Amino acid sequence: MRITKLVGERIKEVPSDASVKSQILLIRAGYIKQVSNGIYTLLPPAQRISKKIQQIIREEMDALDGQEVLFPVVMPREMWDKSGRYSSIGEEMVRFKDRAGRDMLLGMTHEEAAVSTCQNIVKSYDQLPCMIYQIQTKFRDEARPRAGLIRVKEFTMKDAYSFHTSDEDLENYYNKVFEGYNKIFSRVGMKNFISVKSDTGMMGGKYAHEFMLLTDIGEDSIVICDHCGYKANMEVAISKADEKRFADEKLKEVFTGKAKSIEEVSELLKIEKAKTIKAVCYAIVGDTQNTVVAFVRGDREVNEAKLKRVLGKDIAVKDLEGSGLVKGNIGCVGLEGDNIITVFDSSLKGACGMVTGANKEDYHITGVNLERDVEVKDFYDITKVAEGEKCSVCGKPLSVKRGIEIGNIFQLGTKYTKSMGMTVSMPDGSSMNPIMGCYGIGVGRCIASIAEELADEKGLVWPVSVAPWHIYLCPLRNDDVQVAETAEKLYKSLSEKFEVLYDDRKVSAGVKLTDSELMGIPVRVVVSPRSLTQGEAEITLRASGEKIMVKLEKLEEELENLLK
Amino acid sequence: MRITKLVGERIKEVPSDASVKSQILLIRAGYIKQVSNGIYTLLPPAQRISKKIQQIIREEMDALDGQEVLFPVVMPREMWDKSGRYSSIGEEMVRFKDRAGRDMLLGMTHEEAAVSTCQNIVKSYDQLPCMIYQIQTKFRDEARPRAGLIRVKEFTMKDAYSFHTSDEDLENYYNKVFEGYNKIFSRVGMKNFISVKSDTGMMGGKYAHEFMLLTDIGEDSIVICDHCGYKANMEVAISKADEKRFADEKLKEVFTGKAKSIEEVSELLKIEKAKTIKAVCYAIVGDTQNTVVAFVRGDREVNEAKLKRVLGKDIAVKDLEGSGLVKGNIGCVGLEGDNIITVFDSSLKGACGMVTGANKEDYHITGVNLERDVEVKDFYDITKVAEGEKCSVCGKPLSVKRGIEIGNIFQLGTKYTKSMGMTVSMPDGSSMNPIMGCYGIGVGRCIASIAEELADEKGLVWPVSVAPWHIYLCPLRNDDVQVAETAEKLYKSLSEKFEVLYDDRKVSAGVKLTDSELMGIPVRVVVSPRSLTQGEAEITLRASGEKIMVKLEKLEEELENLLK
């Protein structure tokens, strides 16, 4: 490819709305172009990477006996009514009416399509296990797209679905996919990725793992025990309760005035935060009547994912206007109201001497003894794990890191096969709903994650396995006849063995070298009047910066070694 | 691939709603499964074919210096407002509001996206010509999906867009793409395809060609001159006017009673149809006031595509209720009304002695002399070419055939670059809107077209270049230990060199042989107790039916020759 013809321009300026390294560099190096908020066109260099990643994914899926199919993007409502997800999924799913007035949707995921495909085709136990997958465009109307290709509305995804006759068989296959995923992320060149237990979210099912690239710009929090290897997404992470016990006291109402937050109240009363009870209010989605009040120890944070699972319902921010609750003074003692659902965190079990709101403007209550003063049926773990809390497995301190989710795998159980009525006949003549697993990888997010992990202050750095081109052929001073001729010859001969991006522009050496670093092609080959006087070319490795002078006649051999 | 694990079942019954050979066979052989009207899932065998076709298309596009990109499926209205197509395209384009209330659409074609991508990236004449292409899912809300993969709502399409600084450069590139398309359709195994001049339709532009596979089930009519090679889609085809002149007469009103149609009137008056004037009425889309009355000679048919171009507007069937027009007696003499737009076909120019409706219930007028009796400003070619009419180039009789459109290429001009404001700077310092070409191929329709052309009464027939597998390995009586062992060995060894579908089922020889023919894999290899007594396998070529007995030790070599 001659760079003069390449559709993809290199830009000096940092785009004003770009927030993270991969986004800035992918735009600046001419890899992607924004079409609309969260919607991008992949320019030729990015599409070349995308195809290579897709090919690696395909090979690993095929190695797991995966069969590639293509489901439709647009599906009819009826299919999704069967699983109940037409109603249960929110605004992120695009719904529209077709010209005949039928309700249609854009598939965000294809469990329904997978079951509908296999129904009446996979009918007998001896056809199982089987796995089908596709690589296809998905659209999710994300509320907050961000960070370039990391969180977008439209993306290319590999999604796979497996069917099994027993939990053991699923478990066994799931472990193989787990290994396959490790291979995929290694082969595309990621290094600092881990797998963590995660929430099953809108997929349902009992068991899931996420693959996470550890990076400070990640939007997920991951709890890690360096000692025993425990790893979990914050959404499901647990820690050993760090008990704090205070002396029992009598209940007493105290004037706290403008002190409303935990910080203000604990400072005013000169107590540690752990001696207070934090109240956080939520609305239930689709329920305008009730208010959920979550009570946790004052030094802890509510984990909304856990709270959702306790409630079995989706929650949202609550506007307290007209709820009867006194903002800043909500407390668990004597909290009245038919429309209030309280949930208590395990950290409060057995606590005494605590401070809570008095449900009365400007007052709090001290000396709360949960067992004595509040009727609590059950305590639940509804808090986030904090840095330094003890590992529930080994008791050593946990750390919290940030990560980008690069893939996920789910044990779905029979949620979809049961609701959609898919059965297979068993050896004994009975029939059963097959047990499913599903497995996703976002291709565009992989591109961004690789960029995020490997790029340096000079620009992108691509591993050979997915690089858009292998070699950046860079003649300096190609107004010099000998340089120009040598470069043209090298372009022809090297292109027979490698993918070559040829910088045939008549611009300064500085511009060319800077652009080659920005674009991140693994190997740069420079020929210049000076190098040619020695009959040599200069090879520079983008990742390490290592430079090697090579005789032209040895160039191809050297490049073969470097690009192996 | 073991057939016992293949997701894709072979069915004996002809699906009740399937209408054409390719559709029936692709469903019966387990290649596709309908999800909704005009929406299909590609099962593994069809997806394997699709990927091979895509690869052939990619290679030919890359050979034309095409750069692969990926545009979004979902695009914002603003982009399409610039070209005017947000309003001008009808219900076949899906529009919806995103969660923020913005108007979005599903791309049916990507001229706007291509211009928007290249804008501010391709800025100078020396970057041209350039061509970008993508292979991607498209959704068009077709009013009448039909014939399986031939006319669907959702499909995978290769669409390409080129940019040029002069008409000559476009013409030159267009001709190269033309040749590239011929290569593509040959390589995927089609034989009886032709290219024809065609209407530019919703794309706009001045010049277009369609590639057509000739088949009786095609929905397009193609006019062909076997003598000089003239070929055109009926929508734009012309013929040498076959003049019919009758003696001049006086105007006379005659009672024709219930005779309304051309057939009835000509029979009643004992005249040939060519002596009558046919009136056909249309509404203009988006205009409730006016009625278009097209007059053509009674033996000819109105060509709606030509009429649309004359009007520069879209037309639809007209309900004559309340229009003041007398159905069955509409005539061109004294036709009054402010809201009537008349269009006369060239075949009527200079005609006399004609019969037309009297615009009065039960009456016609005879002896019409167009020049004398009707004020006609211009005559236009608005009729369809009929079988046997004379070729406008060489005068020999034309034939009319049916075809499936398998690809199209357009010279778009500056319609999109102008409306969207894309410019490139020229050597003299001026700037211009680049001239565009666009080029489409539907991948799924290719699959169906190949099937339609090559399949026989026994089932599908795939050419080696796109076949889902090369070899159908078919042990008969695999309850026989020697057969089973030999088959397993062959499966392993042949899979190293070829793509093998292994019929490892324990079913009768009849079922296996019938299924192998239904699925259409190019080469079948049978091993049976009988063949093994000779140390042989039986090779059958699906296309020709030719059978070859081969010693097992020579099998691989023979297959290599056959599959070259």
| CATH label of the domain that carries residue A281 | 3.90.960.10
Question: Which residue from B40, B51, B132 is facing A7, i.e. has the nearest CB?
Answer: B132
Find residues 28-57 of chain A whose CB sits inside 8 Å of chain B: 30, 33, 35-36, 39-44, 46-48, 50-51
Question: Taking CB atoms and an 8 Å limit, are A7 and B98 in contact across chains?
Answer: no
B332 touches B277 (CB < 8 A)? yes
Residues 6+ apart with CB under 8 A from A283: A290, A291, A292, A315, A316, A317, A318, A319
Q: Is residue B394 part of a domain?
A: no
Mean pLDDT over B91-95 rounds to 91
Question: Taking CB atoms and an 8 Å limit, are A7 and B130 in contact across chains?
Answer: yes
* Domain co-membership, B370 together with B514: no
* Domain co-membership, B442 together with B485: no
Question: Which residue from A9, A65, A71 is facing B41, i.e. has the nearest CB?
Answer: A71
Place of tokens 């995978």: B156
* Domain co-membership, A70 together with A103: yes
Averaged pLDDT score across all residues of chain A = 92
Question: Taking CB atoms and an 8 Å limit, are A141 and B98 in contact across chains?
Answer: yes
Q: Is residue A244 part of a domain?
A: no
Which of chain A's residues have a Cβ under 8 Å away from the Cβ of B156?
70
Measured distance between the N- and C-terminal CA atoms of chain A, rounded to whole angstroms: 21
* Domain co-membership, B213 together with B343: no
* Domain co-membership, B61 together with B155: yes
B327 touches B377 (CB < 8 A)? no
Predicted local confidence at residue A205, as pLDDT = 59
Question: Taking CB atoms and an 8 Å limit, are B122 and A7 in contact across chains?
Answer: yes
Catalogue the E-assigned strands of A507-558: 523-527, 536-541, 547-551
Question: Taking CB atoms and an 8 Å limit, are B68 and A74 in contact across chains?
Answer: no
Residue of A nearest to B77 (CA): A36
Find residues 7-26 of chain A whose CB sits inside 8 Å of chain B: 7-9
Q: Note whether B108 contacts A: Cβ–Cβ < 8 A.
A: no
Based on its alpha-carbon atoms, the radius of gyration of chain B, rounded to whole angstroms, reads 29
Q: Is residue A91 part of a domain?
A: yes
Q: pLDDT digits over A338-356, tens only?
A: 788 999 999 899 999 999 9
Q: Note whether B126 contacts A: Cβ–Cβ < 8 A.
A: yes
Q: Domain of A525? A: 471-562
Q: Is A437 exposed, middle or buried (0-12, 13-18, 19+ CB in 10 A)?
A: buried
Predicted local confidence at residue A392, as pLDDT = 87
Question: Which residue from B33, B69, B106 is facing A47, i.e. has the nearest CB?
Answer: B69
Q: Is residue A300 part of a domain?
A: yes
Question: Taking CB atoms and an 8 Å limit, are A36 and B72 in contact across chains?
Answer: yes
* Domain co-membership, A81 together with A160: yes
Which of chain B's residues have a Cβ under 8 Å away from the Cβ of A104?
36
Q: Note whether A71 contacts B: Cβ–Cβ < 8 A.
A: yes
Which of chain A's residues have a Cβ under 8 Å away from the Cβ of B39?
72, 74-76
Give helix B44-63 / helix B443-454 axis angle, nearest 10°: 110
Question: Taking CB atoms and an 8 Å limit, are A91 and B99 in contact across chains?
Answer: yes
Q: Note whether B400 contacts A: Cβ–Cβ < 8 A.
A: no
Between CA A213 and CA A410 the distance in angstroms is 18
Between CA A100 and CA A476 the distance in angstroms is 62
Residues 6+ apart with CB under 8 A from B493: B556
Q: What percent of chain B has pLDDT above 70? A: 98
* Domain co-membership, A213 together with A83: yes
Between CA B265 and CA B70 the distance in angstroms is 59
The residue among A1, A3, A7 with the most chain B CBs within 10 A of its CB, best to mutate, is: A7
Angle value at C-alpha A536, between A535 and A539, nearest 5 degrees: 170
Which of chain B's residues have a Cβ under 8 Å away from the Cβ of A42?
69-70
The reply to whether omega before A129 is within 30° of 0 (cis) is yes
Predicted local confidence at residue A339, as pLDDT = 87
Q: What is the DSSP string of B181-218?
A: HHHHHHHTT--SEEEEE---GGG--SEEEEEEEE-TT-
Provide the number of CB pairs (under 8 Å) joining chain A to chain B: 167
Predicted local confidence at residue A51, as pLDDT = 97
CA distances A500 to A471, A474, A495, Å, are 5, 10, 6
Nearest-CA distance from B214 to chain A in Å? 28
B523 touches B541 (CB < 8 A)? yes
> Burial letters for A227-250: b for 16+ Cβ neighbours within 10 Å, e otherwise?
eeebbbbbbbbbbebeebebeeee
Which among B62, B87, B268 has a CA at the least distance from the CA of B183? B62
Which of chain A's residues have a Cβ under 8 Å away from the Cβ of B139?
73-74
Q: Is residue B267 part of a domain?
A: yes
* Domain co-membership, B437 together with B337: no
* Domain co-membership, B446 together with B484: no
Overall number of domains in chain B: 3
Between CA B121 and CA B114 the distance in angstroms is 11
CA distances B42 to A68, A128, A437, B154, Å, are 9, 20, 21, 11
Q: pLDDT digits over A227-280, tens only?
A: 888 888 888 888 887 778 898 899 999 999 999 999 999 999 999 999 999 999
Looking at the DSSP bridge assignments, the partners of residue A314 are: none
Mean pLDDT over B109-114 rounds to 95
Q: With 60 as the cut, is the pLDDT of residue B202 above it?
A: no
Between CA B411 and CA B422 the distance in angstroms is 17
Catalogue the E-assigned strands of B371-505: 379-380, 390-391, 399-413, 424-425, 431-432, 435-442, 471-475, 500-502
CB atoms within 10 A of CB A81: 14
Give the DSSP letter of residue B346. Answer: G
Question: Taking CB atoms and an 8 Å limit, are B74 and A44 in contact across chains?
Answer: no
Q: Is residue B395 part of a domain?
A: no
Nearest-CA distance from A379 to chain B in Å? 37
The residue among A52, A57, A70 with the most chain B CBs within 10 A of its CB, best to mutate, is: A70
* Domain co-membership, A484 together with A425: no
Domain harbouring B554, CATH code: 3.40.50.800
Q: Note whether B118 contacts A: Cβ–Cβ < 8 A.
A: yes
* Domain co-membership, B125 together with B188: yes
Between CA A423 and CA A420 the distance in angstroms is 9
Last-in-domain residue among B348, B380, B412: B380
B28 touches B14 (CB < 8 A)? yes
Q: Is residue A16 part of a domain?
A: no
Q: What percent of chain B has pLDDT above 90? A: 72
Mean pLDDT by 10 residues, chain A (564 residues): 92 85 94 93 97 97 96 95 88 91 94 94 93 96 88 94 95 94 95 82 70 90 88 86 84 92 93 94 86 93 91 84 85 85 92 93 93 90 90 90 92 93 95 96 95 95 97 92 94 96 94 96 96 95 96 95 91
A487 CB-side CA count, 13 A: 29
| Beta strand B471-475 pairing with B500-502 | parallel
Place of tokens 């392993």: B492
* Phi–psi pair at A402, nearest 5 degrees: -110, 150
Q: Is residue A392 part of a domain?
A: no
Give the DSSP letter of residue B434. Answer: P
Which of chain A's residues have a Cβ under 8 Å away from the Cβ of B117?
7, 33, 41, 43
Nearest-CA distance from A50 to chain B in Å? 10
Q: Per-residue confidence at B199, pLDDT binned at 50, 70, 90?
A: low
Give helix A21-28 / helix A443-454 axis angle, nearest 10°: 100
* Domain co-membership, B353 together with B424: no
Which among B74, B81, B86, B64 has a CA at the least distance from the CA of B160? B64
Domain harbouring B47, CATH code: 3.30.930.10
